[in-house]
C-alpha cells in the first residue's frame, strides 16, 4: 500500500493505492496558503487518510507528494509556487519530519502524467505526454514507462514556445507564446465571464451560436491542437493525453481537437502520416495526480520517477 498527495491551489487530495495500483481510500482537505498552512493541511490529509486505514503515516515507507511550482526532487525543495504562497521551501524535509516518513516531492504536472499513464493501463514500452490545460500550459512526459523530467526538471514547458512573431507579449517576457493561446488564462482574457468554469461557459455560448464565442473557442482549440503537434513532432510520444479541469467538457472537447488535427492532415501528407487524431485522448477520470504521487513513493515500482 502506498500513499500519494496532490497539493492543489484550492484542495489537497490524498489517496492510498494497493499493490496493484488500485485506489482503496481517498480524501480531500482545503489547501492552506503560505508555508505553515500548506504543511499543516498536507499533514492533516495524510494523517486522516492513515487513520481511516487504521494505521499511522510512519507505517508507510515513503509517500509521494505533487506540488505546483519549480520542484527539485533531489533536495525536496519547492520554489515559485505562487498560488500556494510558497517560495523556496524545504517542503519534503518539513513533511518528513512531521509525518515520520520519507517524502518524495515532484512537480504536479509530472505526477499527473505518471498517474494518467498508470490509470490508462499503459505498459512500460509506451510513451505518453500529459498536456495540462490549467491556468497555464505545460506537459509531463512519460517515456518508455518512466517519467522524463529533463536535465533540470523543465521538460514539457511547451507553453513558452513562441508560435506567432506578431503575438501578444507574454508574462515570461517573450512574444506570442503558445500559453497565451491555449490555456485557461488565454480563454479568461478573450472571454471574460463571472462563470466559475469559463471554458465551459465559452463552449456553451459557442454551441448556442454566439459569434465571438465561436471565434474564441476555435482559436483555443486550434492552439491546443498545436500543442499536441509540438509534442508529437519533438518527442514522438505514442499518445498525448489532455488533462486539467477543462477535461470535464469531455467528448465535445476531444472531438473538436481531433477535427482540427484531421483538417491539418487533409492539407499535409506529412502530418497525415503521423495519424495525430488517433493519438490524442482525454485523461482518465479519477485522482490522476495523487495516484501518480503515490507511484513516486515506491522506488521499487516498475514506474520509476526518473529515467536516468
Residues that bind a copy of itself (CB under 8 A): 124-127, 141, 143-145, 148-158, 160-166, 172-174, 226, 229-238, 264, 267-271, 274, 307-308
From residue 232, alpha-carbon distances to 16, 59, 127, 258 in Å are 33, 42, 11, 14
Nearer to a copy of itself, 149 or 258 (CB): 149
Nearer to a copy of itself, 47 or 174 (CB): 174
CB of 138 to a copy of itself, least distance (A): 10
CB of 260 to a copy of itself, least distance (A): 13
Give the three cell numbers for residue 240: 498525448
User: Nearest CA to 245 among 185, 303, 301?
Assistant: 185
Phi, psi of 209 (to 5 degrees): 100, 5
Question: How many other CB atoms are found less than 10 A from the CB of residue 247?
Answer: 19
Nearer to a copy of itself, 94 or 108 (CB): 108
CB of 181 to a copy of itself, least distance (A): 10
Nearer to a copy of itself, 191 or 264 (CB): 264
CB of 172 to a copy of itself, least distance (A): 4
CB of 127 to a copy of itself, least distance (A): 6
How big, in percent rounded to 5, are the helix, strand and coil portions of the chain? 45, 25, 35
Distance in angstroms (rounded) separating the CA atoms of residues 295 and 64:
7
Nearer to a copy of itself, 23 or 274 (CB): 274
Give the three cell numbers for residue 170: 507574454
- For residue 234, what is the enclosing H or E element? helix 211-235
Amino acid at each position: 500500500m502506498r500513499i500519494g498527495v496532490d497539493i492543489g491551489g484550492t484542495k489537497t487530495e490524498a489517496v492510498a493505492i494497493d499493490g496493484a495500483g488500485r485506489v482503496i481510500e481517498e480524501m480531500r482537505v482545503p489547501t492552506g496558503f503560505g508555508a505553515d498552512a500548506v504543511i499543516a493541511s498536507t499533514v492533516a490529509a495524510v494523517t486522516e487518510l492513515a487513520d481511516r486505514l487504521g494505521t499511522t503515516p510512519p507505517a508507510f515507507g515513503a509517500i509521494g507528494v505533487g506540488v505546483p511550482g519549480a520542484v527539485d526532487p533531489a533536495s525536496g525543495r519547492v520554489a515559485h509556487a505562487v498560488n500556494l504562497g510558497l517560495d523556496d521551501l524545504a517542503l519534503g524535509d518539513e513533511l518528513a519530519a512531521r509525518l515520520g516518513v520519507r517524502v518524495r516531492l515532484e512537480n504536479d504536472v509530472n505526477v499527473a502524467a505518471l498517474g494518467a499513464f498508470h490509470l490508462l493501463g499503459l505498459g512500460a514500452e509506451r510513451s505518453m505526454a500529459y498536456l495540462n490545460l490549467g491556468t497555464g500550459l505545460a506537459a509531463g512526459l512519460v517515456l518508455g514507462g518512466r517519467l522524463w523530467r529533463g536535465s533540470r526538471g523543465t521538460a514539457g514547458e511547451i507553453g513558452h514556445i513562441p508560435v506567432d512573431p506578431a503575438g501578444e507579449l507574454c508574462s515570461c517576457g517573450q512574444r506570442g507564446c503558445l500559453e497565451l493561446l491555449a490555456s485557461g488564462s488565454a480563454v479568461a482574457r478573450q472571454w471574460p465571464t463571472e462563470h466559475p468554469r469559463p471554458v465551459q461557459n465559452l463552449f456553451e455560448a459557442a454551441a448556442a451560436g454566439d459569434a465571438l464565442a465561436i471565434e474564441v473557442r476555435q482559436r483555443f482549440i486550434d492552439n491546443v491542437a498545436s500543442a499536441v503537434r509540438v509534442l508529437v513532432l519533438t518527442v514522438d510520444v505514442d499518445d498525448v493525453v489532455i488533462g486539467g479541469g477543462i477535461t470535464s467538457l469531455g467528448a465535445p472537447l476531444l472531438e473538436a481537437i481531433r477535427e482540427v488535427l484531421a483538417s491539418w492532415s487533409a492539407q499535409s501528407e506529412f502530418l497525415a502520416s503521423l495519424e495525430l487524431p488517433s493519438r490524442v485522448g482525454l485523461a482518465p477520470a479519477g485522482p490522476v495526480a495523487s495516484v501518480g504521487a503515490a507511484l513516486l513513493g515506491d522506488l521499487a515500482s516498475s514506474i520509476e520517477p526518473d529515467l536516468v
